[in-house]
Structure 1
Amino acid sequence: MLIGTKAEYIKTAPVMRELDRRGVPYRLVDLGQHSQLPVSFRTQLGVREPDLRLDSQTDAASIGDALKWAGRLMSHLRSRSHARRHVFGGMGGVCLVHGDTPSTIIATLMGRRAGVPVAHLESGLRSKSAVHPFPEELTRRGVMRLAHTYFPPNDTAERNLRARFAGRDIVPTGHNTSSEAIGHVWPAKPESRGPALITIHRVENLHRRARLVDLVTTIERLAKREPVRFLVHQPTENALRGAGLWERVLRSDAQVGPLIPHDEFIEATAAAPWVLTDGGSSQEECAVLGVPTLLWRATTERDEGLGHNVVLTNYDARLVDEVTADPDRYRRPAARPEVTPSSIVVDRLVELNEKVD
């Protein structure tokens, strides 16, 4: 299992816990895209320390850092024997990768270089543009071409895969593993109320000045009306500083702070009157929790919550104001899905491992 980001840890944790529960051995390799993860984070998720860390110099919090990080990891592709011996510890089996991050494509290339079949968790999500969202869509397309087994999280993703790769191994999971991840840290008092939450981090929003100005203006406007908590990813702070907008954020009435542990974040999300986010994982989490959610995007490849508690804003200020003025009409009861995707994933991984061996 090759993963490198905080979100990938969260979403693969249910699979790791299921592997541990069944006593199935696996090798956990951390690619280090988010290298500064405390031990408490893994403890909270119920997963062990990695067997191997390929890079732990610094978080890839900027494009420059990300390019340097990727360059360092590419050195492990220099030969099949090195990739198989060092990255995979001489083990065969199946290489499980997740999602649509730079870690995903690098992990996929490592699996292919080592001659290990690649299984893609959260596969089949597609947009209508090859370059939007960037770089997620290019990553998805690359990984889907290179993978051998696909785990689509919903019907739309499954249809996308069957339309392009009908002859390959496609295993629907019914839901994304994020639903199980929430269940592991289910909020104790989901009926309590706290401040509204805002989290923004996507490249499409951080590298367009007009989008950043709109974001800051929206934060200022909403925070004057009600309590708002802005949880800031490091790349977001970097982008706001670079655009000369960070001081405006700090002067706003919003409570501004860094990211918080996953269990605290789920608790805060469940307690929020509404959430403004551009994150796919956040959309899925809010759909399960039934929290009124505004997607700070023009499009989304995910179906979760749309038409119910999730509203695609297309950056429309009037729509944002309309939803936040009366969010309870969008609220839905929180409900944990009965399907356990991790069991489906592990069943198939065990079958594949037996075939490979």
Structure 2
Amino acid sequence: MIHVFLGTKAQLIKMAPIMKMLQDQGVSYNFIHSGQHQETMNDILNDFSLPEPDSYVTTGSDIKEKIQVPKWAYLCEKRTRRSSECWAGRAKGSKDIVLVHGDTFSTLIGALAAKRMGFKCGHIESGLRSFNLFHPFPEELVRLSTFRLADIFYCPDDASVANLKGYDKKIVHTHGNTMLDATKLAARMASKSARSDFGIVSIHRYENIFRSARLEWIVDQVIQISRKQKILFIMHPPTEHRLRNAGLFKRLQAEQGIELRKRLSYFEFTGILAQAQFLVTDGGSNQEESSYIGLPCLVMRKSTERQEGIGRNVVLSNYSEERIRGFFDNLERYRSAPSNSHISPAKIIVDDLKPFY
């Protein structure tokens, strides 16, 4: 049997094409949700016509603060170790595989659970590296730990394949990220509106929102940008919480050039991306999406483990005001043609999973 173990919105978006393809082929799978993020998950499931999880390891509110992580992680570890309920009654040591994705705490918990059960572990989007333990943190540490636990690496590009050559494990080159499948599907479903005059800001990573000085600096930059370009600021719940606590939410609210929006469903977000002038983000998935549709994208980070769009439509800010000004002074230079790739990374993965059907 195939077990899909995930916990965040971004993971669901990238795993959805695999889950939908399995479903369309009549292949059953066990969908386990760690409970890390639960808000708006139903919107994504509805977008992709997928069923709700078969089981939740934890339930309750989203994990929005670092202080919540240890208790949540402990409960996840305890419940995946002592209870077989989430494994659909499968016996320990069965010839099953647990699919985990990316570099979140849910990734590591799922990989550890697979090892305890004696199942194989397949790591989707494997091999990405920033080669800096603190940028991003803790994602880079999660990746390194997951590499040691996983049995099959599903790698999106040549660089990620090369990064895993030292491990004596199966490597599958997927020739792209499953986000490509998700973006194509969302683009087909999204409305075909003309390009508008706004840009989008989406900030949510720990290294940005949990450092008060860094968050205030980013808000200053966004306000400066908004006085020349209209902005839709997408409010992730943890970001809004931190902005309000830091007294920065009202500053954004007071700016005429900024419209604050609640977090959107995936298809809604893809729809407005297709209309936007630019994207300012710290999300790796957003970087990938922008590269596929050719949208000018400024990544508000010091480093990125992803190569999509770099040197073409994506600029890494390195928290440099000079780079930010250069990006906005040359926006059209960073607009590129949408991807016309016919490769389906999800199909490559699903085909490789046939021994576990």
TM-score, structure 2 as length reference: 0.93
**Deviations 1:215-243 (CA, angstroms, capped at 9, x unpaired):** 11111111111211110111112222333
Which amino acid counterpart does residue 292 of structure 1 have in structure 2?
Answer: P
Match for 1:314 among 309, 313, 318?
318
Match for 1:221 among 221, 224, 227?
224
Q: Aligned partners of 2:133 and 2:303: how far apart in 1?
A: 13
Which amino acid counterpart does residue 105 of structure 1 have in structure 2?
Answer: L
The structure-2 alpha-carbon separation of the partners of 1:74 and 1:50, relative to structure 1 and needing over 3 Å to count, comes to same
Which amino acid counterpart does residue 218 of structure 1 have in structure 2?
Answer: Q
Q: Aligned partners of 1:141 and 1:41: how far apart in 2?
A: 29
Which amino acid counterpart does residue 177 of structure 2 have in structure 1?
Answer: N
Aligned to 2:348: 344
Unaligned runs of 5+ in 2: none
Aligned to 1:6: 9
Q: Secondary structure at the match of 1:97?
A: strand
The structure-2 alpha-carbon separation of the partners of 1:276 and 1:116, relative to structure 1 and needing over 3 Å to count, comes to same
**Deviations 1:78-103 (CA, angstroms, capped at 9, x unpaired):** 44xx3xx2221133411001010111
Q: Aligned partners of 1:345 and 1:212: how far apart in 2?
A: 38
Is the contact made by 1:283 and 1:295 (CA closer than 8 Å) also made in structure 2?
A: yes
Q: Secondary structure at the match of 1:126?
A: coil
**Deviations 1:139-176 (CA, angstroms, capped at 9, x unpaired):** 101111100000011111111011x21x2100010000
1:333 aligns to 2:341 (yes or no): no
| 1:21 CA displacement | 1.9
| 1:316 CA displacement | 1.4
Q: Aligned partners of 1:37 and 1:277: how far apart in 2?
A: 19
Q: Aligned partners of 2:131 and 2:157: how far apart in 1?
A: 17
Residue range with higher mean Cα deviation, 240-249 or 136-145: 240-249
Aligned to 1:185: 186
Aligned to 2:173: 172
Q: Aligned partners of 1:177 and 1:194: how far apart in 2?
A: 30
Q: Aligned partners of 1:208 and 1:302: how far apart in 2?
A: 23
Unaligned runs of 5+ in 1: none
**Deviations 1:110-156 (CA, angstroms, capped at 9, x unpaired):** 11111111000000011122232111111101111100000011111
Is the contact made by 1:274 and 1:324 (CA closer than 8 Å) also made in structure 2?
A: no
Which amino acid counterpart does residue 319 of structure 1 have in structure 2?
Answer: R
| 1:192 CA displacement | 2.1
Q: CA RMSD in A?
A: 1.5
Aligned to 2:52: 49
Q: Secondary structure at the match of 2:208?
A: helix
Q: Secondary structure at the match of 1:217?
A: helix
TM-score, structure 1 as length reference: 0.93
Aligned to 1:89: 88
Q: Secondary structure at the match of 2:315?
A: strand
| 1:50 CA displacement | 1.0
How many residues matched?
347
Aligned to 1:196: 199
Q: Secondary structure at the match of 1:171?
A: strand
Q: Secondary structure at the match of 1:332?
A: coil
Is the contact made by 1:286 and 1:292 (CA closer than 8 Å) also made in structure 2?
A: yes
Aligned to 2:34: 31
| 1:190 CA displacement | 6.4
Q: Secondary structure at the match of 2:28?
A: coil
Q: Aligned partners of 2:229 and 2:129: how far apart in 1?
A: 36
Is the contact made by 2:57 and 2:80 (CA closer than 8 Å) also made in structure 1?
A: no
The structure-2 alpha-carbon separation of the partners of 1:66 and 1:336, relative to structure 1 and needing over 3 Å to count, comes to farther
Residue range with higher mean Cα deviation, 268-277 or 301-310: 268-277
Which amino acid counterpart does residue 203 of structure 2 have in structure 1?
Answer: I
Which amino acid counterpart does residue 115 of structure 2 have in structure 1?
Answer: R
Aligned to 1:125: 128
Match for 2:246 among 243, 248, 254?
243
Is the contact made by 2:284 and 2:306 (CA closer than 8 Å) also made in structure 1?
A: yes
1:273 aligns to 2:277 (yes or no): yes
Residue range with higher mean Cα deviation, 193-202 or 274-283: 193-202
The structure-2 alpha-carbon separation of the partners of 1:177 and 1:190, relative to structure 1 and needing over 3 Å to count, comes to farther
| 1:71 CA displacement | 2.2
Is the contact made by 1:201 and 1:279 (CA closer than 8 Å) also made in structure 2?
A: yes
Which amino acid counterpart does residue 306 of structure 1 have in structure 2?
Answer: I
Q: Aligned partners of 1:160 and 1:251: how far apart in 2?
A: 46
| 1:191 CA displacement | 4.6
Is the contact made by 2:31 and 2:55 (CA closer than 8 Å) also made in structure 1?
A: yes
Q: Counterparts of 1:291-306 in structure 2 under 5 Å?
A: 291-306=295-310
The percent of aligned pairs where both chains have the same amino acid is 35
Is the contact made by 2:80 and 2:86 (CA closer than 8 Å) also made in structure 1?
A: no
Q: Aligned partners of 1:188 and 1:194: how far apart in 2?
A: 17
Q: Aligned partners of 1:203 and 1:257: how far apart in 2?
A: 20
| 1:248 CA displacement | 1.4
Q: Aligned partners of 1:172 and 1:190: how far apart in 2?
A: 35
| 1:289 CA displacement | 0.6
